Amino acid sequence: MASMAAMSATTPINGSYVSWSHPTSTAPNNLSFSTSALFGDKFDFRNVTASYQTKRTPFTISPKAVSDSRNSHACLEPDTSRSVLGIILGGGAGTRLYPLTKKRAKPAVPLGANYRLIDIPVSNCLNSNISKIYVLTQFNLASLNGIFPGHTRATWAVTRRKGLLKFLLLSRVLKTQTGSRFILAHRETSADIIVAAFPMDEKRATAFGLMKIDEEGRVIEFSEKPKGDQLKAMQVDTTILGLDDKKAKEMPFIASMGIYVVSKNVMLDLLSNKFPGANDFGSEVIPGATSIGMRVQAYLYEGYWKDIGTIEAFYNANLGITKKPVPDFSFYDRSSPIYTQPHYLPPSKMLDADVTDSVIGEGCVIKNCRIHHSVVGLRSCISKGAIVEDTLLMGADYYETEADRKFLAEKGSVPIIIGKNSHIKRAIIDKNARIGDDVKIINSDNVLEAEKETDGYFIKSGIITIVKDALIPSGTLI
C-alpha cells in the first residue's frame, strides 16, 4: 500500500531531480518504447570503466547510513516543492490482478474500504512536499476519471493527450519525512540514481529485481526476477543493511522497490541517448545505467511496504488493516494522511449487527448479520442473517432506488446487495456485485485455481474473486 505505490523517480524541475513511482508492483512494466537487448538479463558492473565513473568525487558512506532511519533530520535546499517532479507509472494491463483489472486500470482498483490504489503514491508525494506530479497509465484510462485525490489545499487539472493522463497538482511516498530523506540521500551521496531497497526472503524474491551492493551501498550487480541458480547467485549478507544475524538469514536478498530518485540531466540522457529503445524503466534502464558506470546507489527503506500485484498479496494487504492490536498499515496517522476523492456519503448504519475485527467504509447499511475480520467497502448493503468473514467487500459505485429494486424483484433478479442468509468466506467481492439469498461463497472443496468468468468468479490461490457487476443467483454454492 505504501508501495502500492511502488516506483518513484525524482528529478529536479529546474535542474534537480525526477521521481518515478509505480502504485502496485515493484516489477515496473509501464514505459512503452521499442524493444531493447537489455531486457531480463543479469549485469555485473564491478569491472566497468566508463566516463561516468571518472566524473564523481570519491564519496564513502555506509549503506546503513543511507537508509530510512527516523533519527535523520532532512534539510532540503532547494525545497522539494520547487525542485522535484513526481512521476507515477500507472502500470500495464494488470494481468496478475485480473479480474480486478478487467474494467479498470490498476491505479483505480479499490483499496481499504474508502480508497483507490492511486491514492497511496499520490498522497505520499503530497506528504513529502512533492507538489508537481505526473501519473502515466496505459490501460482503461477512463477508469481514472474523477477519482484523483481531493485535497482542500490542492488545485489540479486533468488533460487528455494521446492516451496520457496528465495530473498537475499545486499543493503541499512512505511517511511525511520519508520521501524527503530519500531525496536528501540522493543529494548527499552525489548519486546519479538512487534505488529504494528492501530486504527480501527467498519465497518472494523471484518476483523482484534483485541487487548486490558494495560496502558503500553502490549497486554492483542486478538481476531481474531470477530463478534457480541465478536466484541463489544473488544471495548476499544483508547484515550490510543493518539487519541482525537472524533477520539476515531469513531475508538474504536485496530487492528493488521500483522507487527511484534520478537527476534530471541523467534521466534525459538515459531516455534520449543511452537507452532510447528501452521497453521497461525498472528492468532495463536502471540496470543499463549501472552497466555504463553511472553511480546507482541503494537506499534501505525500513517502513511498511508491500507488493500487491497479485490477488493473494492484494487480499492479504487489505485484510492486514484489520489486524489487532496494531494493523499492518494505518490510515489514522495524521502526519501522513491518505487523500482520496470526496464521496459525500452518509455515515454507515448498523442495525443489530455483530461486527468484529473489521473496517467499515462510508455509506453502508448493515442489518442483523455477522461480519468478522473483513473490510467492507463504501455503499455496501448486507442483509439479515448474512455471514461475512475473512473477506474484502469492495462495495458499490451507486445506490439503487426503491423503484430499481422493485423492478429487479419483478424480473426475478437481484439488487446490489449481499442477500439474506448468504455466507461469504475468504473472498473478494468486486463492486456492484449482486449476491442473492442463501448463497454460499466458501470454497468448500478447497480449490486453488479456477476460471469461471461466465459464472461470475475466479479462484486464485484459494481466494474466490467475484467479478465486478456479476450476478450470483440465490441458492448458488461456490
DSSP string, 87-133: EEE--S--GGGTTTTSSS-GGGSEETTTEETTHHHHHHHHHTT--EE
**pLDDT class for 107, splitting at 50, 70, 90?**
confident
- Residue 44 pLDDT greater than 50, yes or no: no
Q: Which residue has the higher pLDDT, 89 or 347?
A: 347
Run of H or E including 113:
none
- Does some domain include residue 65? no
Same domain? 224 vs 280:
yes
Same domain? 123 vs 240:
yes
- Does some domain include residue 58? no
Q: How many Å apart are CA 49 and CA 59, to the nearest integer?
A: 17
Q: Which residue has the higher pLDDT, 321 or 48?
A: 321
- Do residues 25 and 107 make contact, with C-beta atoms less than 8 angstroms apart? no
First to last CA, the chain: 29
**Span 411-431, mean pLDDT?**
97
Same domain? 364 vs 242:
no
**Span 314-335, mean pLDDT?**
90
- Does some domain include residue 403? yes
Per 3-state DSSP, what percentage of the chain is helix, strand, and coil (rounded to 5)? Answer: 20, 25, 50
- Does some domain include residue 451? yes
Give the domain-ending residue among 291, 312, 333. Answer: 312
Expressed as residue numbers, the domain containing 392 is 344-472
CATH number for the domain including 103?
3.90.550.10
Same domain? 379 vs 283:
no
Cell triple for 118: 492511486
Q: Is 94 left (phi over 0), alpha (psi -120 to 50) or beta?
A: left
pLDDT digits (tens, 9 = 90+) for 281-314: 888 888 898 888 899 999 888 788 887 889 999 9
Q: How many domains does the chain have?
A: 2
DSSP code for 455: G
Same domain? 240 vs 281:
yes
- Do residues 193 and 209 make contact, with C-beta atoms less than 8 angstroms apart? no
CATH number for the domain including 354?
2.160.10.10
CA distances from 411 to 115, 194, 418 (A): 34, 60, 18
Average pLDDT over the chain reads: 79
**Span 137-141, mean pLDDT?**
74
Residue 262 phi/psi, 5-degree rounding, is: -130, 130
pLDDT digits (tens, 9 = 90+) for 153-183: 333 333 333 333 333 332 223 333 375 678 8
The fraction of the chain above a pLDDT of 90, given in percent, is 44
pLDDT digits (tens, 9 = 90+) for 356-381: 999 999 999 999 999 999 999 999 99
pLDDT at 31: 28
Same domain? 246 vs 369:
no
Run of H or E including 211:
strand 209-213
Same domain? 98 vs 213:
yes
Q: Determine how many CB atoms are found less than 10 A away from the CB of residue 21.
A: 34
**pLDDT class for 184, splitting at 50, 70, 90?**
confident
Same domain? 364 vs 445:
yes
Give the domain-ending residue among 289, 312, 335. Answer: 312
**Can you tell me which residue has the cell 492484494?**
314
- Does some domain include residue 292? yes
- Does some domain include residue 28? no
Q: Determine how many CB atoms are found less than 10 A away from the CB of residue 476.
A: 18
pLDDT at 145: 63
- Does some domain include residue 36? no
pLDDT at 421: 98
Which of these, 253, 184, 248, 173, lies nearest to 212 by C-alpha position? 253
**pLDDT class for 148, splitting at 50, 70, 90?**
low
Same domain? 268 vs 356:
no
**pLDDT class for 76, splitting at 50, 70, 90?**
low
CA dihedral sign, ordered 91, 94, 100, 105: positive
**Can you tell me which residue has the cell 497509465?**
137
Q: How many Å apart are CA 110 and CA 375, to the nearest integer?
A: 11
CA dihedral sign, ordered 39, 41, 42, 47: negative
Greatest mean pLDDT range, 122-131, 228-237, 261-270: 228-237
- Does some domain include residue 42? no
Same domain? 289 vs 427:
no
Give the domain-ending residue among 297, 312, 327. Answer: 312
